[in-house]
Amino acid sequence: MSLKKSYFLIALFFAQYAIAQEGIPVYLDYLQDNLYLLHPSMAGASQTTKLRGTARGQWAGVDDAPALQTVSMNGRVGEKIGVGGILFNDRNGYFSQQGAYATFAYHLMLGRSFADLNQLSFGISAGIIQGKLDETNFDLTDFDPVISGIEQSDSYLNVDFGMSYNFLDFSAHFTVKNAIPAKRDIFSENFEPNNQRRYIVSMAYAVTPNYTDWSFEPSVMFQATEQTGEATLDVNAKAYYKLDWGRLWGGLSYRRSFDGAEFTTNGETVDVQKLQYVTPFIGGMYDRFIFGYTYSYQSNSVVLTNGGFHQITLGLNLGVNKDPYDCNCPAIN
């Protein structure tokens, strides 16, 4: 492999994941009844206590390809308090990170009736994360003072906070990820800034045709990283079908970045391409059990591989905290 091609693949690799290098990467988990993984203010917002697990693999067949596993649980304590916790393991080539988050949320009912959903929620998550950089397989004969040839590790704290507003069939969320600047000793400041702050805004609205068991939920999710200016937009379409034993759902998501990565294939001209994912997903709830499958296809012209992005979500609703609201609000009821 030529030196130019090696540099191109490295640049393409990190350009696709620069948004998600600290804390839990933001994929499409939230579309599988797992909004808490994205927004701490959704801890305990639902009528049930939720236990969720996810496993994501990328670039199937490629050694040391990115992979993510999460386990989360959240529920309500009393009428207004929500609590939750998340464990995660993330691997991306020679870099990996493991962490745990604990969440506290407060829910205000703004409506006159407890049957009608009109809820304003605030949440904060505190997490401890350990990052590791395995340099044991690096070529030490090609001298670089940054490379030590050992497995470096460092632990640090960070905080996510945000708010959610759920009103009948409409929902809106705002979250700040990695709110505290954190210096990681395993990286030089010349390679990674201390500020990894990321802003996430999402909105959804559920529509139910009269006298049918179908409902449809269009939604959007925007995220931006403060230091680098990277930003992406998700546009989602989701459909639900209600059954006697539960419900089924499925849909399609399109993710596009606003900034592009420069590359060259001939060493003379420089082109720019913007990250694009097309993601179909399916899932369902049988009694108290949840299952979801997500597949992403990268539709760029120059990629390591287009497919091989698989994610599975498993879940269990452990108990009922309150009676259902009188609304079509799948994230809450």
Q: Among 9-18, 82-91, 149-158, 205-214, which range has the highest average pLDDT?
A: 82-91
Q: Structural domain of residue 119, as residue ranges? A: 3-320
Q: What is the CATH number of the domain that holds 237?
A: 2.40.160.40
Query: Residue 217: what pLDDT?
Result: 97
Given a contact cutoff of 8 angstroms between Cβ atoms, the answer to whether 230 and 223 are in contact is: no
Q: Which tens digit of pLDDT belongs to each residue from 159-182?
A: 999 999 999 999 999 999 999 987
Task: Report the alpha-carbon distance of residue 170 to residue 327 in Å, rounded.
Answer: 10
Q: Which tens digit of pLDDT belongs to each residue from 97-121?
A: 999 999 999 999 998 777 789 999 9
Residue 133 lies in a domain: yes
Given a contact cutoff of 8 angstroms between Cβ atoms, the answer to whether 18 and 230 are in contact is: yes
Residue 263 lies in a domain: yes
Residue 330 lies in a domain: no
Q: Averaged over 222-247, what is the pLDDT?
A: 94
Q: What is the mean pLDDT of the chain?
A: 85
Task: Report the alpha-carbon distance of residue 287 to residue 13 in Å, rounded.
Answer: 41
Residue 326 lies in a domain: no
Q: Which residue type does 96 have?
A: S
CA angle 253–254–256, rounded 5-degree value: 145
What's the structural domain count of the chain?
A: 1
Residue 127 lies in a domain: yes
Those residues whose C-beta lies under 8 Å from the C-beta of residue 54, and which sit 6 or more positions away, are 29, 32, 34, 37, 68, 69, 70, 311, 312, 313, 314
Q: Among 139-143, 186-190, 227-231, 280-284, which range has the highest average pLDDT?
A: 280-284
Given a contact cutoff of 8 angstroms between Cβ atoms, the answer to whether 97 and 81 are in contact is: no
Query: Residue 306: what pLDDT?
Result: 60
Q: With a cut of 50, say whether residue 201 has pLDDT above it.
A: yes
Query: Residue 254: what pLDDT?
Result: 97
Query: Residue 17: what pLDDT?
Result: 42
Q: Which residue has the higher pLDDT, 138 or 54?
A: 54
Those residues whose C-beta lies under 8 Å from the C-beta of residue 245, and which sit 6 or more positions away, are 286, 287
Residue 140 lies in a domain: yes
**CA contacts within 13 A on the Cβ side of 309:** 20
Ranking 214-223, 298-307, 313-322 by mean pLDDT, the lowest is 298-307
Task: Report the alpha-carbon distance of residue 22 to residue 24 in Å, rounded.
Answer: 7
Q: With a cut of 70, say whether residue 249 has pLDDT above it.
A: yes
Residue 271 lies in a domain: yes
Q: How far is CA 125 from CA 32, 187, 210, 293, in A?
A: 21, 25, 40, 27
Residue 325 lies in a domain: no
